[in-house]
Chain A
């Protein structure tokens, strides 16, 4: 009971004050018929030492604690996190605080969110950004709902090169609201088919959702997509799963995007088996009052000093209830703080250099893997690309795993027509040796060896 200060002596005094005799008697506020007669069937409590050991074993189960060399990306990116990020996150004043409803004693959280909102705006080229969403997928879904509110139209187009889980979540969110989602195919180059987009875009379409770089790592022609969507008076929603790309790419806001959403995990948030991550949500100022989620605004106190508060909250559920722009309440504040600390540490120069390292390593990996497999798409990429592997793919991936290598994501699970394809991601964490090793082992398994592999 190390987390419960009051012990027997305390209870006795307190129980007397409230007119009860035994601690157990407090349960009598519940109807007799509903009171549990036997203890919960749970494991016996563990001491701190036993708990740590138990969880350590669980965490290592399957890998024996050995580090795998993984080329998985696909919406969750393995970037190095500087020590400063977790040190800031571990400040209890940050992580043990609630939502900043009382601004006078929450200025730390509020200013940090204000700074986060600013950096998201700068990164995306948008005018306003909120305090965070759950993740990239739910941010896309909320963006689609927002576009429908703005446009009053029931149809939305999503590129098939948008992350499949983002599309699934959007489908879940829109299903009960009588909205129609249609998918736009991708071309042999690996980008959204703009000819099809032009054909199917009509007056009933509220928005077009496109991902940049797309799920295959390929770069879309955002300017052109935006021109097509705007010609039909539809909004353009840009989803960004790998925001590091924005250090080198034109901000979507400068190319006409109306809503830019995405996943901020890449910035200072670990893989954590899929969560918690952090969605970001940015838009234009004129859509401000249609936006979901919390916003922090600057103001002054009674003495005219700068301070921050939750602002424009008449959009939100605790005030508007069923008329709110979203039901979101708890968001991912601490993960957004990680993004902020990470971006502040990397800074103006560091983030660009890091992005160039990712690009360079990815180009190297493309070159090496092209010697033994085939690159599926020809469009330019950032830090991910798709290869086609001939042979029994599942068997090959299993053999690689036994060598401590995870080659990437087999795309057949999301694209039935891509049974031979693997999505490969390369970041600054991969050394040249690791890429070479993947190429060599894969070459051996596939019975082919790259030139360099032979030379060794």
Chain B
């Protein structure tokens, strides 16, 4: 391997489990001195309710704690480490100032039940963010409550169910395309719906005929992701909406891929009734190694009564939390949402403005198409048309050398890149789903393309090298079969 690749080896430090560190009597804490009489639990509780000790808890000094977690962090790869083209996840840069404003003392210390009169700033921020998201999506009302995309889906589907129930029949089925994220069918099932899969056509999108065939008066909704997980715009969206609406159903849009559309088109203008946003994708809030995210939901006016409580409403000059909404689906979580995540998204929108958001989407499209063009001679491209924010290849050309998408993904790590999403969407066998986002410079994309081309070459000439990859990481491929057959999910004292 040449030396200019991002991937190089450095000193990797070993680190045991935290339970294997420290020693009896060590302390990492300091507590304020007690300024009232000490009350032992024995004095006020029945003795048999009292625990003897915290068996298995660490005993460490502060420096040991810091070293432990610093070492752990060094085994991780994040957006700040390098290129992270994980398809469908929109791993864009997480601006640093957003981390600062989310930690402003006035926000951090705000108790959710404190009086509304001293929470006007926080409520105002939320109310403005609702308005921004409504404007960006072309929908009428927004709730910020859902904690993540999947909870947004649940919220949206519950609203659809309540709306239809009010009109006499909640119906029993939901149409979900074969390109959908797994959360779509799972959220529908959680609402008691039977999931009916709709096949996408040879162009990778839903055809009006396919939806028409499955659409009847028992179908509550069509759940569609637009652009879809192949990175293609559902070009028949308006017709699909019409077909569903004609039979009295509603259309739900999964907004996971909204980064393709900012300032370019509005989901609401396509006739969609409900949309969820992933603030941790489109609006730059960090993923945190799996969360927290935020999954606000936007709806058209006819669904506004069903939004979760509390709603933020304006009474003259004052904002307040309104719980008295008889048609509401209720609450999907405690309090009002992942507020500190909302602050970051709000800061992002204010930093970019209308022009910046549109630029972000256009450059995301540019970067994805640049990669598509750069790799299409070396990797199989099942849908050879200009894409939106991501492009999906497959491992078909490498299969004949015994190299799979998994192998390619692992080999990319040696070159210093995070792999793309693999084996998804399910409609593409051996899929490699690449989403570069707008955050990458041209030379990074060039380097990535070159690495992918080189791996394609290696697959032909040295397939073993690819199949055995990664070679430079702290651990090599891990035995997942063992982890599932003999689950060891915790350390034991």
0 or 1 for each of B245-286: is its CB under 8 Å from A? (1 = yes): 000000000000000011111100110000000001000101
Is B57 touching A100 in the complex (CB atoms < 8 A)? no
Q: Size class of B's contact patch? A: 35 or more
Is B28 touching A272 in the complex (CB atoms < 8 A)? no
Is B476 touching A303 in the complex (CB atoms < 8 A)? yes
Chain A residues with CB below 8 A from B337, complex form: 274-275
Asked, given contacts A6-B367, A55-B343, whether A359 binds B73 with beta carbons under 8 Å apart, the answer is no
Question: Does A180 touch B at the CB level, under 8 Å?
Answer: no
Is B57 touching A347 in the complex (CB atoms < 8 A)? yes
Residues of B199-217 contacting chain A, CB below 8 A: none
Is B270 touching A34 in the complex (CB atoms < 8 A)? yes
0 or 1 for each of A1-12: is its CB under 8 Å from B? (1 = yes): 101111000110
Stretch with Cβ within 8 A of B (4 or more), from A183-191, A195-203, A335-343:
A335-343
Chain B residues with CB below 8 A from A204, complex form: none
Cα A15 to Cα B366 in complex, Å, equals: 7
Residues of B284-298 contacting chain A, CB below 8 A: 284, 286-293
Is A341 touching B333 in the complex (CB atoms < 8 A)? no
Question: Does A415 touch B at the CB level, under 8 Å?
Answer: no
Question: Does B463 touch A at the CB level, under 8 Å?
Answer: no
Question: Does A63 touch B at the CB level, under 8 Å?
Answer: yes
Q: How far is the CB of B371 from chain A (nearest CB, A)?
A: 10
Chain B residues with CB below 8 A from A1, complex form: 352, 356, 359
Cα A308 to Cα B369 in complex, Å, equals: 35
Question: Does B109 touch A at the CB level, under 8 Å?
Answer: yes
Is B340 touching A250 in the complex (CB atoms < 8 A)? no
Q: Size class of A's contact patch? A: 35 or more
0 or 1 for each of B14-48: is its CB under 8 Å from A? (1 = yes): 01011100100011110110111111110011101
0 or 1 for each of A32-58: is its CB under 8 Å from B? (1 = yes): 011110011111111010011011111
Residues of A147-183 contacting chain B, CB below 8 A: 163, 165-166, 168-169, 171-173, 175-178
Question: Does B80 touch A at the CB level, under 8 Å?
Answer: yes
A118's contact among B56, B308, B369, B413, by CB below 8 Å, is which? B56
Is A100 touching B289 in the complex (CB atoms < 8 A)? yes
Question: Does A112 touch B at the CB level, under 8 Å?
Answer: yes
Cα A351 to Cα B54 in complex, Å, equals: 9
A62's contact among B118, B170, B369, by CB below 8 Å, is which? B118
Is B31 touching A354 in the complex (CB atoms < 8 A)? yes
A409's contact among B19, B72, B113, by CB below 8 Å, is which? B113
0 or 1 for each of B220-238: is its CB under 8 Å from A? (1 = yes): 0000000000000101011
Is B65 touching A344 in the complex (CB atoms < 8 A)? yes
Nearest to B63 among chain A residues (CB) is: A84
Cα A349 to Cα B288 in complex, Å, equals: 29
Residues of B372-414 contacting chain A, CB below 8 A: 372-374, 386-388, 409-410, 413
Stretch with Cβ within 8 A of B (4 or more), from A73-81, A369-377, A437-445:
A73-81
B54's contact among A34, A324, A352, by CB below 8 Å, is which? A352
Asked, given contacts A34-B269, A92-B78, A333-B289, whether A169 binds B109 with beta carbons under 8 Å apart, the answer is no
Question: Does A119 touch B at the CB level, under 8 Å?
Answer: yes
Question: Does A97 touch B at the CB level, under 8 Å?
Answer: yes
Asked, given contacts A42-B135, A168-B330, A333-B289, whether A250 binds B108 with beta carbons under 8 Å apart, the answer is no
Cα A292 to Cα B113 in complex, Å, equals: 29
B74's contact among A78, A93, A114, A321, by CB below 8 Å, is which? A93
Cα A294 to Cα B17 in complex, Å, equals: 20
Stretch with Cβ within 8 A of B (4 or more), from A120-128, A227-235, A448-456:
A120-128
Is A219 touching B49 in the complex (CB atoms < 8 A)? yes
Asked, given contacts A1-B359, A115-B491, A250-B51, whether A95 binds B289 with beta carbons under 8 Å apart, the answer is yes
A122's contact among B38, B55, B120, by CB below 8 Å, is which? B55
Chain B residues with CB below 8 A from A165, complex form: 331, 334-335
Is A84 touching B66 in the complex (CB atoms < 8 A)? yes
Question: Does B453 touch A at the CB level, under 8 Å?
Answer: no
Q: How far is the CB of A275 from chain B (nearest CB, A)?
A: 4
0 or 1 for each of A342-376: is its CB under 8 Å from B? (1 = yes): 01111111111110110111011000000000000
0 or 1 for each of B115-145: is its CB under 8 Å from A? (1 = yes): 1011111101100000010011000000000
B487's contact among A36, A119, A288, by CB below 8 Å, is which? A288
Chain B residues with CB below 8 A from A346, complex form: 28-29
Question: Does B168 touch A at the CB level, under 8 Å?
Answer: no
A96's contact among B66, B80, B100, B153, by CB below 8 Å, is which? B80
Q: How far is the CB of B60 from chain A (nearest CB, A)?
A: 6
B334's contact among A23, A121, A123, A169, by CB below 8 Å, is which? A169
Nearest to A350 among chain B residues (CB) is: B29
Q: How far is the CB of B319 from chain A (nearest CB, A)?
A: 11
Is A330 touching B490 in the complex (CB atoms < 8 A)? no
Chain A residues with CB below 8 A from B473, complex form: 104-105
A344's contact among B58, B80, B351, by CB below 8 Å, is which? B58
Q: How far is the CB of B126 from chain A (nearest CB, A)?
A: 9
Question: Does B479 touch A at the CB level, under 8 Å?
Answer: yes
Is A48 touching B351 in the complex (CB atoms < 8 A)? yes
Question: Does A392 touch B at the CB level, under 8 Å?
Answer: no
Is B290 touching A109 in the complex (CB atoms < 8 A)? yes
Cα A98 to Cα B473 in complex, Å, equals: 17
Asked, given contacts A67-B109, A251-B51, whether A5 binds B440 with beta carbons under 8 Å apart, the answer is yes
Asked, given contacts A51-B347, A172-B158, whether A322 binds B292 with beta carbons under 8 Å apart, the answer is no
Cα A103 to Cα B118 in complex, Å, equals: 45
26 interchain pairs, CB-CB under 8 A: A4-B356, A26-B366, A35-B265, A40-B135, A43-B350, A58-B124, A59-B122, A92-B81, A95-B78, A97-B79, A105-B470, A119-B57, A274-B334, A274-B339, A276-B340, A299-B480, A303-B476, A311-B487, A327-B154, A329-B181, A330-B292, A347-B29, A348-B57, A361-B36, A381-B44, A397-B115
- When A and B form their complex, which 7 residue pairs have the shortest distance between CB atoms, in order from nearest? A274-B335, A334-B288, A59-B106, A61-B121, A45-B353, A274-B112, A333-B290
- 14 further A-B pairs in the complex, CB-CB below 8 A; given A52-B101, A361-B34: A27-B365, A40-B354, A95-B286, A102-B409, A109-B290, A250-B48, A274-B336, A275-B337, A275-B341, A298-B483, A299-B482, A322-B189, A350-B29, A356-B39
